[in-house]
Amino acid sequence: MIRSCGRRRRERVVSYAALATAAALASEGALAEDHAVGAKAGLLGLGVEYAHSIGDRWAVRVGWNGSELGFGAEESDIDYDFDLVWDSLAVGFDFYPTRGALRLSAGVLRNDNRLEARSVLDDEITIGGTTYAADDVGTLTGLVKFDDRAFFAGIGWDWSRRRTRGVGVSFDIGILSHGSPKVSLRASGPIADIPEFEDDLAAEEAELADEIGDFDLLPFATVGVVFRF
């Protein structure tokens, strides 16, 4: 009798374990079908991303943004040709409070976004309060970088979640915290290595960094096309 009861107990344990395993596999199978890929455009550049839903309320996204935009502008009384370069890899989590399209997002970027500059010089140029001949300075090139790691948070809508498969659209707005800009300037002319000129160039870097210091927080908006499968 004792042997029989023990056998039935083991059979029940095995049955429960089998049911639990089957439920877990079914759940994993259901989640495995909830994938999405998308193409995006916005204030972080052009990008592609992959998303995987974890239940009804959560999703994880991995994406890459990259593109380039050229423009001209004057900073610290010097004319520059600028190239704004977007280059970032993002990992984030989405929370869907209503199980619908609305989502709250947060994540981190491997951040190589930068601003490259090349001076457009006339006969004379004033650097750090001192006036120099353009031929002595040569070409003045600059680089503005931010922290290698940046954090973002935002709110958005992914209307592709209304269907199990097919195409939908998404829209996100948020804020990116990528630290204070770090400015470096280099000259190619014959006076580039003179200590007095190097001091003036350092003063110019500090002035330029102060003028664009408000860009430590960058608002963004993106729109995308999402294919869910």
Q: What's the confidence (pLDDT) of residue 13? A: 37
Whether residue 156 contacts residue 173, with contact meaning beta carbons closer than 8 Å, is answered with yes
Q: Which residue has the tokens 């300037």?
A: 185
Spatial separation of the C-alpha atoms in residues 225 and 229, rounded to whole Å: 13
pTM: 0.76
SS3 state at 99:
coil
Q: Where are the domains of the chain?
A: 1-32, 34-228
| Token pair 């006036």: residue | 131
pLDDT of 150: 97
Q: Kindly report the backbone phi and psi dihedral angles of residue 177, in degrees, each rounded to the nearest multiple of 5, phi listed first.
A: -105, 105
The pair of structure tokens assigned to 61 is 């996204």
Helix (H, G, I), strand (E, B), or coil: what is residue 122?
coil
Task: Return the H-helix or E-strand segment holding 26.
Answer: helix 2-32
* Angle 32-35-40 from CA coordinates, rounded to 5°: 165
Q: What is the pLDDT of residue 213?
A: 79
Q: How far apart (Å, rounded) are the C-alpha atoms in residues 3 and 1?
A: 5
Buried-exposed string 27-57: b where 16+ CB fall within 10 A, e elsewhere: eeeeeeebebebebebebbebebebebeeee
- What is the domain class of 34-228 according to CATH? mainly beta
Q: What is the pLDDT of residue 166?
A: 86
User: Are 120 and 139 contacting, i.e. CB atoms less than 8 angstroms apart?
Assistant: no
Backbone angles phi, psi at 189, to 5 degrees: -80, 180
Report how far residue 212's alpha carbon sits from residue 210's, in angstroms, rounded to the nearest whole number: 6
Taking the C-alpha atoms of residue 159 and residue 64, their distance in angstroms, rounded to an integer, is 21
Identify the segments of the chain with pLDDT beneath 50.
1-33
Place of tokens 């991303």: 49
* pLDDT score for 164: 67
Question: Which pLDDT score is estimated for 111?
Answer: 96
Continuous segment of H or E residues that includes residue 4: helix 2-32
